[in-house]
Amino acid sequence: MSLMRSALLVASQNKWLRENAVNYPFVRRSVSRFMPGESLDAALDAADGLARKKIRSVFTHLGENVTDRNEAQEVANHYLEVLRRIHGSGLGTEVSVKLTQLGLDLSPEFCFDNLEKIILKEKKEAIVWVDMEASNYVDVTLDIFRKALQKYPNVGICLQAYLYRTKKDLDELLPLRPSIRLVKGAYKEPAEIAYPKKLDVDENYFTLGQTMMAAQAAGTCVRAAFGTHDVALIHRLADHAAKSGVPRKDFEVQMLYGIQREEQERLAHEGYRSAVLVAYGSYWFPWFVRRLAERPANLWFMARNLFAS
C-alpha cells in the first residue's frame, strides 16, 4: 500500500477534517465529480439520465457508524421513502445500505429489524445490496446477511478482494444461493489480513470472479456483480465470461457515478449489464476520501479545483 493511499485512508477517519474540510469550496467542487448532489432529487435526476443511456443505477445514502437509535430508524425510514420514489418513477433503481448506518453498533438485532423493513419494501425481482465495511465488521455483517437471505432471496452482499479470508467466505456463501458484488476494498487494513500489493489484489479479484461466474452459471449465485473501475480487469473478466459462455446480459459491472463514464457507456452499448452506484447525502467526506485513496491520481483533479478557487 502506498504512503499516499495510507495517508488518505487515515484522513478519511479524521473527525476534524470531516467537520471542517467540507466547508472549503474546492473540496465541494471536487466531490461533485463523484456524486450528483446531496439530495434524493439529485440522485433521481442522475438515475434518469443514466437510464436514457441504458445504464442501471444503485442508490446509497451516505453515512456510517450511527450510534443514536432514533437516527438509525430515520435512515431506515429514508430508504423506505427512497424505494417509494424509485417505484413511482419506474427507473428500476436498487439500493445499497451500510449496516453501521442502520444501527449495527447499537445492536445486531436492531440493525436487522431496520434492514428487514427495507427488504420488505423492495420488489422481489430487485436486490437490496448490503455493503461491506472495515474488517472488524465482516463477521457480524455476514451473520446478518445469512439471516436475511434465509427469509428473503432478494438481498445481496458485498465482498472485498483484498482480504485473505474472502475466498473462504465466498465458498461458504455459495450453497445459500446469494447475490454477490465483488469489490477490491477501500479501508485501511493491516498486511496480516489484507493483500498490501495491488497486483495481488487484482489476481485474487480475478480468481474470485471466475468462481462467481461459474457459480452463476450453475445456479448457485443468483447475481454476480463486479464493482471495479479497473478497465484492464473488466476486459479480462469479460473475456473469461465470453469463453465460459456467459451471456453479455448476465455479466454485470457496477461503477461509481462520474468515474470511467466512457467505459460505463461502452458496456451498456455492447449489451453488458452496466450499473452505476449513485451516492448522495451530506455525510460524504469519509466516502469521498476513500474514493481518492482508491485512485490517488484523482488528487490532481482536486488540486486543479484548489487552484481554480
Which of the residues 5, 56, 181, 273 is marked catalytic? 181
- The dihedral built from the CA positions of residue 159, 165, 171 and 172, taken in this order, carries a sign that is negative
The answer to whether 45 is a known catalytic residue is no
SS3 24: coil
Number of neighbours of residue 253 by Cβ within 10 angstroms: 23
- Measured distance CA(125)–CA(146) in Å, rounded: 19
- Measured distance CA(85)–CA(69) in Å, rounded: 25
Strand partners, 178: none
SS3 64: coil
SS3 227: strand
- Measured distance CA(22)–CA(14) in Å, rounded: 12
Q: Is 218 exposed, middle or buried (0-12, 13-18, 19+ CB in 10 A)?
A: exposed
The answer to whether 113 is a known catalytic residue is no
SS3 70: helix
Which of the residues 5, 56, 131, 202 is marked catalytic? 131
What does R_g of the chain's alpha carbons equal in angstroms? 18
Cell numbers 474546492 correspond to what residue?
26
- Measured distance CA(186)–CA(62) in Å, rounded: 15
Residues annotated as catalytic are: 131, 181
